[in-house]
A and B are shown apart, each in its own frame.
Chain A
Amino acid sequence: MVLLSIIWKNFKTISKNFLLLAFLTVMPLMQLYLINVTTVNAAAEVAESINSGFVEIFIVSRIVNNDMLQLYAAAILTQFLLMTSMIAGAYIVTEREENTMIRVCVAPISKLKVLSGILLGHSITVLLVALVIISASYRFFSVNWGDSLLNLIAITLMAVYVATAMAFIISGIFRNSNVAGGVMSIVVIAMTFTSGGLIQSDKLEKVSNFTINKWISDAYLILAEGGRLRDISLNLTILALIGTLLMLLASLLYRRENVYE
Protein backbone atom coordinates (compact mmCIF):
# COMPACT_ATOMS: atom_id res chain seq x y z
CA MET A 1 0.00 0.00 0.00
CA VAL A 2 2.89 2.35 0.74
CA LEU A 3 4.21 1.59 -2.74
CA LEU A 4 0.83 2.58 -4.21
CA SER A 5 1.04 5.93 -2.39
CA ILE A 6 4.45 6.62 -3.90
CA ILE A 7 3.28 5.57 -7.37
CA TRP A 8 0.17 7.75 -7.16
CA LYS A 9 2.04 10.76 -5.82
CA ASN A 10 4.68 10.57 -8.56
CA PHE A 11 2.08 10.14 -11.26
CA LYS A 12 0.09 13.07 -9.90
CA THR A 13 3.13 15.36 -9.62
CA ILE A 14 4.07 14.95 -13.27
CA SER A 15 0.54 14.84 -14.62
CA LYS A 16 -0.14 18.21 -12.97
CA ASN A 17 2.51 19.76 -15.22
CA PHE A 18 0.14 20.36 -18.13
CA LEU A 19 2.57 22.50 -20.12
CA LEU A 20 5.22 19.81 -20.07
CA LEU A 21 2.75 17.10 -21.03
CA ALA A 22 1.38 19.27 -23.82
CA PHE A 23 4.92 19.83 -25.10
CA LEU A 24 5.74 16.13 -24.96
CA THR A 25 2.63 15.12 -26.91
CA VAL A 26 2.18 18.02 -29.34
CA MET A 27 5.84 18.31 -30.38
CA PRO A 28 6.19 14.80 -31.82
CA LEU A 29 2.87 15.21 -33.65
CA MET A 30 4.10 18.53 -35.07
CA GLN A 31 7.28 16.82 -36.25
CA LEU A 32 5.24 14.08 -37.89
CA TYR A 33 3.04 16.67 -39.54
CA LEU A 34 6.07 18.44 -41.02
CA ILE A 35 7.55 15.19 -42.27
CA ASN A 36 4.21 14.22 -43.71
CA VAL A 37 3.92 17.53 -45.56
CA THR A 38 7.49 17.58 -46.84
CA THR A 39 7.75 13.96 -47.92
CA VAL A 40 4.46 12.15 -48.47
CA ASN A 41 2.36 15.07 -49.64
CA ALA A 42 5.14 16.52 -51.74
CA ALA A 43 5.58 13.16 -53.44
CA ALA A 44 1.86 12.94 -54.01
CA GLU A 45 1.77 16.37 -55.58
CA VAL A 46 4.64 15.49 -57.92
CA ALA A 47 2.92 12.29 -58.88
CA GLU A 48 -0.39 14.02 -59.48
CA SER A 49 1.28 16.64 -61.64
CA ILE A 50 2.38 13.84 -63.94
CA ASN A 51 -0.13 12.64 -66.43
CA SER A 52 -2.41 9.98 -65.03
CA GLY A 53 -1.08 7.56 -67.63
CA PHE A 54 2.09 7.04 -65.59
CA VAL A 55 0.28 5.34 -62.76
CA GLU A 56 3.17 2.98 -61.83
CA ILE A 57 5.52 5.83 -60.77
CA PHE A 58 2.87 7.40 -58.55
CA ILE A 59 2.27 4.20 -56.51
CA VAL A 60 5.96 3.43 -55.94
CA SER A 61 6.57 6.97 -54.66
CA ARG A 62 3.82 6.76 -52.11
CA ILE A 63 5.02 3.42 -50.76
CA VAL A 64 8.59 4.64 -50.34
CA ASN A 65 7.52 7.81 -48.62
CA ASN A 66 5.02 6.08 -46.35
CA ASP A 67 7.85 3.79 -45.22
CA MET A 68 9.85 6.89 -44.47
CA LEU A 69 6.98 8.27 -42.38
CA GLN A 70 6.81 4.96 -40.49
CA LEU A 71 10.54 5.14 -39.88
CA TYR A 72 10.41 8.68 -38.58
CA ALA A 73 7.28 8.01 -36.51
CA ALA A 74 9.06 5.20 -34.67
CA ALA A 75 12.18 7.33 -34.14
CA ILE A 76 10.17 10.33 -32.95
CA LEU A 77 8.02 8.26 -30.58
CA THR A 78 11.18 6.69 -29.16
CA GLN A 79 12.84 10.07 -28.71
CA PHE A 80 9.86 11.55 -26.87
CA LEU A 81 9.34 8.48 -24.73
CA LEU A 82 12.95 8.64 -23.62
CA MET A 83 12.64 12.36 -23.04
CA THR A 84 9.46 11.94 -20.96
CA SER A 85 11.03 9.17 -18.91
CA MET A 86 14.14 11.21 -18.30
CA ILE A 87 12.24 14.34 -17.35
CA ALA A 88 10.21 12.22 -14.94
CA GLY A 89 13.42 10.73 -13.55
CA ALA A 90 14.80 14.23 -13.06
CA TYR A 91 12.06 14.81 -10.46
CA ILE A 92 14.35 12.99 -8.04
CA VAL A 93 16.69 15.97 -8.23
CA THR A 94 13.73 18.27 -7.60
CA GLU A 95 12.85 16.14 -4.55
CA ARG A 96 16.37 16.68 -3.26
CA GLU A 97 16.18 20.40 -4.00
CA GLU A 98 12.85 20.68 -2.17
CA ASN A 99 14.36 18.64 0.71
CA THR A 100 11.44 16.23 0.54
CA MET A 101 13.78 13.32 -0.17
CA ILE A 102 15.00 13.48 3.45
CA ARG A 103 11.44 12.95 4.68
CA VAL A 104 10.94 10.01 2.34
CA CYS A 105 14.24 8.55 3.58
CA VAL A 106 13.24 8.77 7.26
CA ALA A 107 9.94 6.98 6.60
CA PRO A 108 9.85 3.26 7.42
CA ILE A 109 10.29 2.09 3.82
CA SER A 110 13.24 0.73 1.88
CA LYS A 111 15.07 2.74 -0.78
CA LEU A 112 14.16 0.01 -3.27
CA LYS A 113 10.47 0.63 -2.63
CA VAL A 114 10.95 4.39 -3.03
CA LEU A 115 12.77 3.99 -6.36
CA SER A 116 10.25 1.38 -7.59
CA GLY A 117 7.39 3.73 -6.71
CA ILE A 118 9.00 6.54 -8.69
CA LEU A 119 9.68 4.23 -11.65
CA LEU A 120 6.13 2.87 -11.73
CA GLY A 121 4.54 6.30 -11.22
CA HIS A 122 6.52 7.60 -14.18
CA SER A 123 5.65 4.55 -16.27
CA ILE A 124 1.96 5.42 -16.12
CA THR A 125 2.70 8.96 -17.31
CA VAL A 126 4.93 7.78 -20.15
CA LEU A 127 2.40 5.14 -21.20
CA LEU A 128 -0.26 7.83 -21.44
CA VAL A 129 2.05 10.07 -23.48
CA ALA A 130 2.80 7.10 -25.78
CA LEU A 131 -0.89 6.32 -26.10
CA VAL A 132 -1.68 9.89 -27.18
CA ILE A 133 1.19 9.97 -29.74
CA ILE A 134 0.33 6.52 -31.15
CA SER A 135 -3.40 7.11 -31.47
CA ALA A 136 -3.07 10.67 -32.82
CA SER A 137 -0.42 9.67 -35.38
CA TYR A 138 -2.61 6.74 -36.47
CA ARG A 139 -5.69 8.95 -36.73
CA PHE A 140 -4.16 11.98 -38.47
CA PHE A 141 -1.20 10.59 -40.43
CA SER A 142 -2.27 6.96 -40.88
CA VAL A 143 0.89 5.72 -39.16
CA ASN A 144 0.68 1.96 -38.77
CA TRP A 145 1.62 0.67 -35.28
CA GLY A 146 0.69 -2.96 -35.85
CA ASP A 147 -2.24 -4.80 -34.37
CA SER A 148 -0.96 -5.85 -30.95
CA LEU A 149 -1.58 -3.34 -28.19
CA LEU A 150 0.07 -5.64 -25.63
CA ASN A 151 3.29 -5.79 -27.62
CA LEU A 152 3.25 -2.00 -28.00
CA ILE A 153 2.85 -1.68 -24.23
CA ALA A 154 5.66 -4.20 -23.65
CA ILE A 155 8.18 -2.29 -25.74
CA THR A 156 7.03 1.07 -24.33
CA LEU A 157 7.44 -0.17 -20.75
CA MET A 158 10.89 -1.48 -21.56
CA ALA A 159 11.79 1.93 -23.01
CA VAL A 160 10.58 3.55 -19.76
CA TYR A 161 12.62 1.09 -17.71
CA VAL A 162 15.88 1.82 -19.55
CA ALA A 163 15.32 5.59 -19.73
CA THR A 164 14.38 5.85 -16.06
CA ALA A 165 17.48 3.87 -15.11
CA MET A 166 19.55 6.37 -17.10
CA ALA A 167 17.69 9.21 -15.41
CA PHE A 168 18.40 7.69 -11.98
CA ILE A 169 22.10 7.62 -12.77
CA ILE A 170 22.16 11.20 -14.06
CA SER A 171 20.03 12.34 -11.07
CA GLY A 172 22.44 10.57 -8.77
CA ILE A 173 25.41 12.41 -10.21
CA PHE A 174 24.05 15.93 -10.72
CA ARG A 175 22.62 17.92 -7.81
CA ASN A 176 20.87 20.65 -9.78
CA SER A 177 17.63 19.87 -11.61
CA ASN A 178 18.40 22.27 -14.47
CA VAL A 179 21.82 20.72 -15.06
CA ALA A 180 20.42 17.18 -14.76
CA GLY A 181 17.56 18.01 -17.14
CA GLY A 182 19.98 19.56 -19.63
CA VAL A 183 22.32 16.56 -19.54
CA MET A 184 19.37 14.20 -20.02
CA SER A 185 18.11 16.13 -23.06
CA ILE A 186 21.60 16.11 -24.59
CA VAL A 187 21.88 12.35 -24.02
CA VAL A 188 18.50 11.70 -25.68
CA ILE A 189 19.22 13.94 -28.69
CA ALA A 190 22.72 12.47 -29.10
CA MET A 191 21.31 8.95 -29.01
CA THR A 192 18.53 9.84 -31.44
CA PHE A 193 21.10 11.27 -33.85
CA THR A 194 23.49 8.33 -33.51
CA SER A 195 20.69 5.82 -33.95
CA GLY A 196 19.80 7.39 -37.30
CA GLY A 197 16.56 8.86 -36.03
CA LEU A 198 17.33 12.33 -37.39
CA ILE A 199 19.29 11.54 -40.54
CA GLN A 200 19.79 8.30 -42.43
CA SER A 201 23.48 7.53 -42.89
CA ASP A 202 25.44 4.36 -43.59
CA LYS A 203 28.23 5.59 -41.32
CA LEU A 204 25.86 5.58 -38.35
CA GLU A 205 24.61 2.08 -39.08
CA LYS A 206 27.13 0.23 -36.88
CA VAL A 207 27.26 2.84 -34.13
CA SER A 208 23.48 2.83 -33.86
CA ASN A 209 23.54 -0.71 -32.45
CA PHE A 210 24.98 0.77 -29.24
CA THR A 211 22.07 3.14 -28.71
CA ILE A 212 18.88 2.19 -26.93
CA ASN A 213 16.87 4.26 -29.45
CA LYS A 214 17.82 1.84 -32.20
CA TRP A 215 16.48 -1.21 -30.31
CA ILE A 216 13.28 0.57 -29.31
CA SER A 217 12.41 2.11 -32.67
CA ASP A 218 13.33 -1.10 -34.53
CA ALA A 219 10.89 -2.95 -32.29
CA TYR A 220 8.13 -0.45 -33.12
CA LEU A 221 8.89 -0.91 -36.84
CA ILE A 222 8.78 -4.70 -36.52
CA LEU A 223 5.39 -4.42 -34.83
CA ALA A 224 4.20 -2.04 -37.54
CA GLU A 225 5.11 -4.63 -40.13
CA GLY A 226 2.92 -7.16 -38.35
CA GLY A 227 5.61 -8.68 -36.14
CA ARG A 228 4.71 -10.71 -33.05
CA LEU A 229 6.21 -10.89 -29.57
CA ARG A 230 8.84 -13.44 -30.66
CA ASP A 231 9.95 -11.04 -33.41
CA ILE A 232 10.79 -8.34 -30.89
CA SER A 233 12.13 -10.70 -28.22
CA LEU A 234 15.76 -9.87 -29.10
CA ASN A 235 15.03 -6.14 -28.77
CA LEU A 236 13.25 -6.69 -25.45
CA THR A 237 16.07 -8.87 -24.13
CA ILE A 238 18.80 -6.40 -25.07
CA LEU A 239 16.84 -3.50 -23.58
CA ALA A 240 16.16 -5.51 -20.40
CA LEU A 241 19.87 -6.27 -20.06
CA ILE A 242 20.89 -2.63 -20.61
CA GLY A 243 18.17 -1.45 -18.21
CA THR A 244 19.15 -3.89 -15.50
CA LEU A 245 22.82 -3.00 -15.83
CA LEU A 246 21.97 0.70 -15.54
CA MET A 247 19.66 0.02 -12.59
CA LEU A 248 22.47 -1.82 -10.80
CA LEU A 249 24.75 1.15 -11.38
CA ALA A 250 22.01 3.49 -10.14
CA SER A 251 21.46 1.37 -7.02
CA LEU A 252 25.17 1.68 -6.23
CA LEU A 253 24.87 5.46 -6.50
CA TYR A 254 21.76 5.51 -4.30
CA ARG A 255 23.34 3.26 -1.70
CA ARG A 256 25.44 6.13 -0.41
CA GLU A 257 24.13 7.42 2.89
CA ASN A 258 23.58 11.08 2.01
CA VAL A 259 21.43 10.27 -1.03
CA TYR A 260 18.78 12.76 0.13
CA GLU A 261 21.12 15.76 -0.16
Chain B
Amino acid sequence: MSIKLTNVVKRYDSKLAVDQVSLNIQKGEIFGLLGPNGAGKSTIIKMIMGLLKPNNGEIEVQGLDIKKNSIEIKRLLGMVPQDIAIYESLTARENVAYFGSLYGLRGKKLKEAVDEALVYTGLLDKKKEKPKKFSGGMKRRLNIACAIVHKPEIIIMDEPTVGIDPQSRNHILESIKELNRRGATIIYSSHYMEEVEVLCHRVGIIDHGRLMGIGTKEELKSQMNQDQIILIEASDIRFNVIDEIKKLQGIINVSLKENTIEIITKNAQQVIHDVLFVMGKENTLIRKFSLQEPNLESVFLTLTGRKLRD
Protein backbone atom coordinates (compact mmCIF):
# COMPACT_ATOMS: atom_id res chain seq x y z
CA MET B 1 0.00 0.00 0.00
CA SER B 2 1.39 3.38 -0.95
CA ILE B 3 -1.11 5.77 0.62
CA LYS B 4 -3.97 5.05 2.96
CA LEU B 5 -6.63 7.53 4.07
CA THR B 6 -9.04 6.46 6.80
CA ASN B 7 -12.15 8.52 7.58
CA VAL B 8 -10.36 11.78 6.85
CA VAL B 9 -12.27 14.96 7.65
CA LYS B 10 -11.17 18.53 6.98
CA ARG B 11 -13.12 21.65 7.90
CA TYR B 12 -12.38 25.26 7.03
CA ASP B 13 -14.16 27.03 9.89
CA SER B 14 -17.72 25.77 9.52
CA LYS B 15 -17.33 24.57 5.91
CA LEU B 16 -16.79 20.86 5.49
CA ALA B 17 -14.18 20.50 2.73
CA VAL B 18 -13.47 16.77 3.06
CA ASP B 19 -16.06 14.48 4.55
CA GLN B 20 -15.07 11.03 5.90
CA VAL B 21 -12.89 10.08 2.94
CA SER B 22 -11.27 6.63 3.05
CA LEU B 23 -9.19 5.34 0.18
CA ASN B 24 -6.15 3.20 -0.56
CA ILE B 25 -3.69 3.99 -3.30
CA GLN B 26 -1.60 1.03 -4.43
CA LYS B 27 2.11 1.17 -5.08
CA GLY B 28 2.94 1.66 -8.76
CA GLU B 29 -0.48 2.80 -9.93
CA ILE B 30 -1.72 6.03 -11.45
CA PHE B 31 -4.63 7.04 -9.30
CA GLY B 32 -6.97 9.71 -10.59
CA LEU B 33 -8.84 12.12 -8.35
CA LEU B 34 -11.71 13.37 -10.42
CA GLY B 35 -14.05 16.14 -9.45
CA PRO B 36 -15.17 19.66 -10.28
CA ASN B 37 -13.44 22.76 -8.93
CA GLY B 38 -13.99 23.09 -5.21
CA ALA B 39 -14.84 19.40 -4.77
CA GLY B 40 -12.06 18.83 -2.22
CA LYS B 41 -9.33 17.30 -4.43
CA SER B 42 -6.69 19.90 -3.60
CA THR B 43 -7.51 19.71 0.11
CA ILE B 44 -6.98 15.92 0.05
CA ILE B 45 -3.68 16.41 -1.78
CA LYS B 46 -2.53 19.09 0.66
CA MET B 47 -3.30 16.81 3.58
CA ILE B 48 -1.25 13.99 2.03
CA MET B 49 1.60 16.46 1.45
CA GLY B 50 1.44 17.56 5.08
CA LEU B 51 0.46 21.12 4.20
CA LEU B 52 -2.89 20.79 5.96
CA LYS B 53 -3.75 18.78 9.05
CA PRO B 54 -6.93 16.71 8.99
CA ASN B 55 -9.46 17.48 11.73
CA ASN B 56 -10.21 13.76 12.00
CA GLY B 57 -9.00 10.51 10.52
CA GLU B 58 -5.65 8.96 9.69
CA ILE B 59 -3.28 9.32 6.75
CA GLU B 60 -0.46 6.86 6.16
CA VAL B 61 2.18 7.04 3.45
CA GLN B 62 4.06 3.79 2.92
CA GLY B 63 3.08 2.70 6.41
CA LEU B 64 4.24 5.94 8.07
CA ASP B 65 1.78 8.03 10.04
CA ILE B 66 1.77 11.57 8.65
CA LYS B 67 1.35 13.12 12.12
CA LYS B 68 4.50 11.49 13.47
CA ASN B 69 6.71 11.20 10.37
CA SER B 70 6.02 14.35 8.40
CA ILE B 71 9.65 15.00 7.34
CA GLU B 72 10.33 11.34 6.35
CA ILE B 73 7.13 11.28 4.30
CA LYS B 74 8.02 14.52 2.53
CA ARG B 75 11.23 12.90 1.30
CA LEU B 76 9.15 10.26 -0.51
CA LEU B 77 6.86 12.74 -2.19
CA GLY B 78 7.10 15.11 -5.11
CA MET B 79 4.42 17.67 -5.74
CA VAL B 80 3.37 19.40 -8.93
CA PRO B 81 1.18 22.23 -7.64
CA GLN B 82 -1.89 23.46 -9.48
CA ASP B 83 -0.38 26.92 -9.97
CA ILE B 84 3.02 27.19 -11.60
CA ALA B 85 5.55 27.45 -8.78
CA ILE B 86 8.89 28.58 -10.14
CA TYR B 87 11.19 31.55 -9.60
CA GLU B 88 10.94 33.91 -12.55
CA SER B 89 14.25 35.53 -11.61
CA LEU B 90 16.22 32.26 -11.73
CA THR B 91 17.10 30.25 -14.84
CA ALA B 92 15.43 26.90 -15.53
CA ARG B 93 18.52 25.11 -14.28
CA GLU B 94 18.78 27.23 -11.12
CA ASN B 95 15.12 26.58 -10.35
CA VAL B 96 15.45 22.81 -10.60
CA ALA B 97 18.79 22.83 -8.74
CA TYR B 98 17.39 24.89 -5.88
CA PHE B 99 14.44 22.61 -5.31
CA GLY B 100 16.72 19.57 -5.65
CA SER B 101 19.02 21.00 -3.00
CA LEU B 102 16.09 21.28 -0.58
CA TYR B 103 15.94 17.47 -0.70
CA GLY B 104 19.59 17.19 0.25
CA LEU B 105 21.05 16.69 -3.24
CA ARG B 106 24.58 18.09 -3.61
CA GLY B 107 27.45 18.40 -6.06
CA LYS B 108 27.70 15.87 -8.86
CA LYS B 109 24.54 14.05 -7.76
CA LEU B 110 22.57 17.28 -7.92
CA LYS B 111 23.98 18.22 -11.32
CA GLU B 112 23.10 14.81 -12.77
CA ALA B 113 19.62 14.87 -11.26
CA VAL B 114 18.97 18.37 -12.61
CA ASP B 115 20.11 17.43 -16.12
CA GLU B 116 18.00 14.27 -16.00
CA ALA B 117 14.89 16.19 -14.93
CA LEU B 118 15.47 18.78 -17.66
CA VAL B 119 16.05 16.12 -20.33
CA TYR B 120 12.96 14.34 -19.15
CA THR B 121 10.78 17.41 -19.51
CA GLY B 122 12.43 18.45 -22.79
CA LEU B 123 13.96 21.63 -21.39
CA LEU B 124 17.69 20.84 -21.39
CA ASP B 125 18.37 23.21 -24.28
CA LYS B 126 16.57 25.98 -22.35
CA LYS B 127 18.39 25.43 -19.08
CA LYS B 128 20.14 28.79 -19.11
CA GLU B 129 17.00 30.75 -19.91
CA LYS B 130 14.71 32.40 -17.40
CA PRO B 131 11.11 31.17 -17.31
CA LYS B 132 9.70 34.62 -18.09
CA LYS B 133 10.61 33.87 -21.72
CA PHE B 134 8.85 30.47 -21.63
CA SER B 135 5.44 29.58 -23.06
CA GLY B 136 2.72 28.34 -20.70
CA GLY B 137 3.44 24.74 -21.66
CA MET B 138 7.18 25.10 -21.04
CA LYS B 139 6.52 26.63 -17.62
CA ARG B 140 4.26 23.69 -16.80
CA ARG B 141 7.06 21.30 -17.83
CA LEU B 142 9.55 23.19 -15.64
CA ASN B 143 6.98 22.96 -12.84
CA ILE B 144 7.14 19.17 -13.24
CA ALA B 145 10.96 19.09 -13.49
CA CYS B 146 11.18 20.87 -10.12
CA ALA B 147 8.93 18.21 -8.58
CA ILE B 148 10.75 15.13 -9.91
CA VAL B 149 14.39 16.21 -9.57
CA HIS B 150 14.83 14.26 -6.32
CA LYS B 151 13.26 11.13 -7.89
CA PRO B 152 10.32 10.79 -5.52
CA GLU B 153 8.59 7.43 -5.09
CA ILE B 154 5.20 9.09 -5.08
CA ILE B 155 4.36 12.03 -7.34
CA ILE B 156 1.27 14.09 -6.66
CA MET B 157 0.02 16.18 -9.54
CA ASP B 158 -2.67 18.74 -8.91
CA GLU B 159 -4.20 19.65 -12.28
CA PRO B 160 -0.83 19.90 -14.04
CA THR B 161 -2.22 20.61 -17.50
CA VAL B 162 -4.49 23.57 -16.79
CA GLY B 163 -4.35 26.23 -19.50
CA ILE B 164 -1.85 24.73 -21.90
CA ASP B 165 -1.80 23.87 -25.60
CA PRO B 166 -2.65 20.32 -26.77
CA GLN B 167 0.96 19.60 -27.80
CA SER B 168 2.36 20.39 -24.35
CA ARG B 169 -0.53 18.50 -22.76
CA ASN B 170 0.34 15.37 -24.74
CA HIS B 171 3.99 15.76 -23.81
CA ILE B 172 3.07 16.00 -20.14
CA LEU B 173 0.70 13.03 -20.27
CA GLU B 174 3.34 10.91 -21.98
CA SER B 175 5.90 12.00 -19.35
CA ILE B 176 3.54 10.92 -16.59
CA LYS B 177 3.11 7.47 -18.17
CA GLU B 178 6.88 7.17 -18.43
CA LEU B 179 7.38 8.18 -14.79
CA ASN B 180 4.90 5.49 -13.83
CA ARG B 181 6.67 2.90 -16.02
CA ARG B 182 9.85 3.73 -14.09
CA GLY B 183 8.08 2.77 -10.88
CA ALA B 184 6.60 5.98 -9.48
CA THR B 185 3.18 5.93 -7.89
CA ILE B 186 1.19 8.85 -9.23
CA ILE B 187 -1.81 10.66 -7.88
CA TYR B 188 -3.34 12.70 -10.64
CA SER B 189 -5.97 15.26 -9.81
CA SER B 190 -7.97 16.74 -12.64
CA HIS B 191 -11.33 17.96 -13.77
CA TYR B 192 -10.50 16.92 -17.34
CA MET B 193 -12.43 13.66 -17.76
CA GLU B 194 -10.59 12.58 -20.90
CA GLU B 195 -7.16 12.91 -19.24
CA VAL B 196 -8.15 10.76 -16.31
CA GLU B 197 -9.75 8.23 -18.66
CA VAL B 198 -6.58 7.91 -20.74
CA LEU B 199 -4.06 8.02 -17.92
CA CYS B 200 -5.32 6.46 -14.73
CA HIS B 201 -5.49 2.84 -13.62
CA ARG B 202 -8.02 3.64 -10.92
CA VAL B 203 -10.20 6.65 -10.27
CA GLY B 204 -11.77 8.21 -7.19
CA ILE B 205 -14.71 10.51 -7.87
CA ILE B 206 -14.93 13.40 -5.42
CA ASP B 207 -17.82 15.79 -5.03
CA HIS B 208 -18.69 18.13 -2.15
CA GLY B 209 -15.78 16.66 -0.20
CA ARG B 210 -17.08 13.10 -0.38
CA LEU B 211 -15.72 10.09 -2.20
CA MET B 212 -18.65 9.18 -4.42
CA GLY B 213 -17.08 6.20 -6.16
CA ILE B 214 -13.76 4.43 -6.55
CA GLY B 215 -12.40 1.71 -8.82
CA THR B 216 -11.00 1.03 -12.26
CA LYS B 217 -12.75 2.77 -15.13
CA GLU B 218 -14.41 -0.53 -16.06
CA GLU B 219 -15.54 -1.18 -12.51
CA LEU B 220 -17.06 2.28 -12.26
CA LYS B 221 -18.81 1.96 -15.61
CA SER B 222 -20.18 -1.48 -14.80
CA GLN B 223 -21.64 -0.14 -11.56
CA MET B 224 -23.83 2.12 -13.63
CA ASN B 225 -27.26 0.74 -14.39
CA GLN B 226 -27.64 3.37 -16.97
CA ASP B 227 -29.43 4.03 -20.22
CA GLN B 228 -27.74 3.40 -23.53
CA ILE B 229 -27.59 5.90 -26.33
CA ILE B 230 -27.80 5.01 -30.03
CA LEU B 231 -26.61 7.68 -32.44
CA ILE B 232 -27.69 7.44 -36.08
CA GLU B 233 -26.44 9.96 -38.61
CA ALA B 234 -28.66 9.98 -41.69
CA SER B 235 -30.01 12.07 -44.54
CA ASP B 236 -33.59 12.55 -45.72
CA ILE B 237 -34.97 12.16 -42.22
CA ARG B 238 -38.71 12.66 -42.25
CA PHE B 239 -40.56 13.85 -39.15
CA ASN B 240 -42.75 10.79 -39.01
CA VAL B 241 -39.60 8.60 -38.64
CA ILE B 242 -38.98 10.14 -35.25
CA ASP B 243 -42.63 9.58 -34.26
CA GLU B 244 -42.51 5.96 -35.45
CA ILE B 245 -39.33 5.23 -33.45
CA LYS B 246 -40.84 6.81 -30.34
CA LYS B 247 -43.72 4.37 -30.52
CA LEU B 248 -41.40 1.32 -30.44
CA GLN B 249 -41.22 -0.80 -27.32
CA GLY B 250 -38.12 -0.17 -25.08
CA ILE B 251 -37.53 3.34 -26.31
CA ILE B 252 -37.18 6.00 -23.60
CA ASN B 253 -36.62 9.06 -25.72
CA VAL B 254 -35.80 10.08 -29.30
CA SER B 255 -34.45 13.43 -30.43
CA LEU B 256 -33.15 14.88 -33.67
CA LYS B 257 -30.09 17.10 -33.66
CA GLU B 258 -29.28 18.30 -37.17
CA ASN B 259 -28.75 15.06 -39.11
CA THR B 260 -28.32 12.82 -36.08
CA ILE B 261 -31.05 10.87 -34.35
CA GLU B 262 -30.31 10.23 -30.67
CA ILE B 263 -32.19 7.29 -29.20
CA ILE B 264 -32.14 6.58 -25.47
CA THR B 265 -33.02 3.04 -24.46
CA LYS B 266 -32.51 0.54 -21.66
CA ASN B 267 -31.40 -2.15 -24.10
CA ALA B 268 -29.90 -1.15 -27.43
CA GLN B 269 -29.61 -4.72 -28.74
CA GLN B 270 -33.33 -5.31 -28.23
CA VAL B 271 -34.53 -2.22 -30.11
CA ILE B 272 -31.98 -1.83 -32.89
CA HIS B 273 -33.71 -4.17 -35.40
CA ASP B 274 -37.02 -2.37 -35.02
CA VAL B 275 -35.36 1.05 -35.39
CA LEU B 276 -33.54 0.03 -38.58
CA PHE B 277 -36.76 -1.48 -39.94
CA VAL B 278 -38.65 1.79 -39.41
CA MET B 279 -35.89 3.81 -41.04
CA GLY B 280 -35.68 1.45 -44.01
CA LYS B 281 -39.44 1.60 -44.48
CA GLU B 282 -39.26 5.41 -44.64
CA ASN B 283 -36.32 5.29 -47.11
CA THR B 284 -33.96 7.06 -44.71
CA LEU B 285 -30.35 6.89 -45.84
CA ILE B 286 -28.15 5.86 -42.90
CA ARG B 287 -24.62 7.31 -43.05
CA LYS B 288 -23.22 6.44 -39.64
CA PHE B 289 -24.38 4.28 -36.78
CA SER B 290 -22.89 4.13 -33.29
CA LEU B 291 -23.64 2.98 -29.80
CA GLN B 292 -22.43 5.38 -27.13
CA GLU B 293 -20.63 3.46 -24.38
CA PRO B 294 -20.86 4.72 -20.81
CA ASN B 295 -17.85 6.87 -20.00
CA LEU B 296 -16.53 8.56 -16.89
CA GLU B 297 -18.61 11.61 -17.75
CA SER B 298 -21.80 9.57 -17.54
CA VAL B 299 -20.53 7.76 -14.44
CA PHE B 300 -19.85 11.14 -12.85
CA LEU B 301 -23.27 12.39 -13.84
CA THR B 302 -24.95 9.34 -12.33
CA LEU B 303 -22.95 9.48 -9.10
CA THR B 304 -23.16 13.19 -8.45
CA GLY B 305 -26.25 14.27 -10.33
CA ARG B 306 -24.34 16.95 -12.20
CA LYS B 307 -21.89 17.30 -15.05
CA LEU B 308 -18.19 17.67 -14.22
CA ARG B 309 -17.99 21.24 -15.45
CA ASP B 310 -21.31 22.41 -14.01
Q: Measuring CB to CB, which residues of chain A are less than 8 angstroms from any residue of chain B? A: 1-2, 5-6, 9, 12-13, 16, 98-100, 102-110, 257-258, 260
Chain B proximity of A201: nearest CB distance (Å) = 42
B106 at interface, CB cutoff 8 A: yes
Cβ of B98 within 8 Å of any chain A Cβ, yes or no, is yes
Query: For residues 115 through 169 of chain B, which have their beta carbon under 8 Å from a beta carbon of chain A?
Result: 146-147
Closest 5 CB pairs of A and B: A107-B102, A5-B101, A99-B85, A108-B74, A99-B83
Partner of A100, one of B50, B77, B86: B86
CB distance from B54 to the nearest CB of A (A): 11
The answer to whether A106 and B79 touch across the interface, beta carbons within 8 angstroms, is yes
- A9 to B96 Cα, complex, angstroms: 12
Q: Contact: A2 with B104, CB < 8 Å? A: yes
Instruction: Using C-beta atoms within 8 Å of the partner chain, give the interface range for chain B.
Output: 20 to 34
Binding site for A on B (CB under 8 A): 49-53, 71-72, 74-75, 77, 79, 81, 83-90, 98-99, 101-104, 106, 146-147
In the complex, chain B residues whose CB is within 8 Å of the CB of A102: 51, 79, 81, 85
Tally the A-B contacts, defined by beta carbons under 8 Å.
67
- B98 cross-chain contacts in A, Cβ below 8 A: 5, 9
Minimum distance in angstroms from B123 CB to a CB of chain A: 17
Residue of B72, B81, B87, B99 touching A13 (CB-CB under 8 A): B87
Contacts of A258 in B (CB 8 A): 51-52
Please determine whether A107 and B83 come into contact, CB atoms closer than 8 angstroms: no
> Which of B53, B83, B98, B104 gathers the greatest number of chain A CB atoms within 10 Å?
B98
Known: A9-B98, A102-B51. A108 touches B103 (CB 8 A): yes
Q: Can you list 8 A-B contacts with CB-CB less than 8 angstroms, sorted by A residue number?
A: A5-B98, A102-B81, A103-B79, A103-B99, A106-B51, A110-B71, A258-B51, A260-B51
Among A98, A110, A258, the most chain B Cβ lie within 10 Å of the Cβ of: A98
With both beta carbons as reference points, the residue of chain B lying nearest to A103 in the complex is identified as B85
CB distance from B79 to the nearest CB of A (A): 5
For the complex, give the distance between the alpha carbons of A94 and B49 in Å.
22
Q: Are A257 and B53 in contact (CB under 8 A)?
A: yes
Q: Please judge, given known A-B contacts A5-B98, A16-B89, A99-B81, whether A106 and B103 are in contact too, CB under 8 Å.
A: no
